[in-house]
Amino acid sequence: ERQKEEMNSKHAYDMVINDLTDTIENANRDIAAKTVEKERKAEKAALNKKQLASTTAVKAENEKTLAATTTECEEKTLSFNEKQNLRGEEIQAIEKAIEILSSPEVSGNAEKYLSLAQGGKAQTALVQLGEDRSATNSGAARSEGIRRRVREFLAAEGQRLHSQQLGLLAEKIAADPFAKVKKMIDSMITRLLEEANEDANHEGFCDTEMGK
């Protein structure tokens, strides 16, 4: 009977030991699994943090670039509008000069043409038609008088518009033969239109970039 009790007691002890061993092993496995999961989450958190930092840096750089582009395009839009307005007035002045040069009645009506070209904007006296009317009796003198009046008109318009190109054109007209004057004016109009188109293309690029 005693031996049986000892055996039962030993069996019970072994059972407890086995249960404890299983519990410890299960706990260790759980700890190991949770440790692995913790490390995985820590790695993911570190990666997310790194990606966030990178995204934040890219966002800041993009915002900086956008701000710079916006400022540049706004400035260039203002400059574009000013340039287009100036070119428009320059071209009007040059076209009026061509009209003066091309008109068969210009020798007797230069004052009329030039005053119309002024449009009431320039108050300075651009043309002095009371000078030596007898000189207009000769073709050479008449041509020189017309060229002088066109030169004075363009010079005055250049001052009014603060246009170096009109001022330079007036100087060239003073130096070049009369036959070259109209061709010179035509070339300047072509150049002004080409410059306007180039600026318009750049303005379109800004509009596209700002719309992204």
pLDDT in tens, 77-101: 657 777 778 778 878 888 787 777 6
150 and 196 together in one domain: no
The answer to whether residue 74 is domain-embedded is yes
Q: Structural domain of residue 155, as residue ranges?
A: 142-175
* 132 phi-psi bin (left φ>0, alpha ψ -120 to 50, beta other): left
Q: How far apart are CA 129 and CA 106, in angstroms?
A: 12
51 and 89 together in one domain: yes
Question: Tell me, what's the pLDDT at 40?
Answer: 92
The answer to whether residue 131 is domain-embedded is no
Q: What value does the mean pLDDT take over residues 31-56?
A: 91
Question: Tell me, what's the pLDDT at 132?
Answer: 43
24 and 103 together in one domain: yes
The answer to whether residue 67 is domain-embedded is yes
Residue 145 CB burial class (10 angstroms; 0-12, 13-18, ≥19): buried
Question: Tell me, what's the pLDDT at 121?
Answer: 45
Asked whether the beta carbons of 122 and 161 are under 8 A apart, the reply is no
What pLDDT digit, counting tens, does each position of 99-149 carry?
A: 776 666 544 444 444 454 455 444 333 344 444 444 444 555 666 677 778
39 and 80 together in one domain: yes
Question: Tell me, what's the pLDDT at 41?
Answer: 92
28 and 76 together in one domain: yes
DSSP 8-class letter at 176: S
107 and 197 together in one domain: no
The answer to whether residue 156 is domain-embedded is yes
Q: Percent helix, strand and coil across the chain, each rounded to 5? A: 90, 0, 10
**Domain tally for the chain?**
3
The answer to whether residue 88 is domain-embedded is yes
14 and 40 together in one domain: yes
Question: Tell me, what's the pLDDT at 107?
Answer: 44
The structure's pTM equals 0.41
87 and 163 together in one domain: no
The answer to whether residue 183 is domain-embedded is yes
43 and 148 together in one domain: no
Q: What value does the mean pLDDT take over residues 26-47?
A: 91
25 and 67 together in one domain: yes
What pLDDT digit, counting tens, does each position of 154-204 carry?
A: 888 888 888 888 888 888 777 765 556 667 777 777 777 777 777 666 656
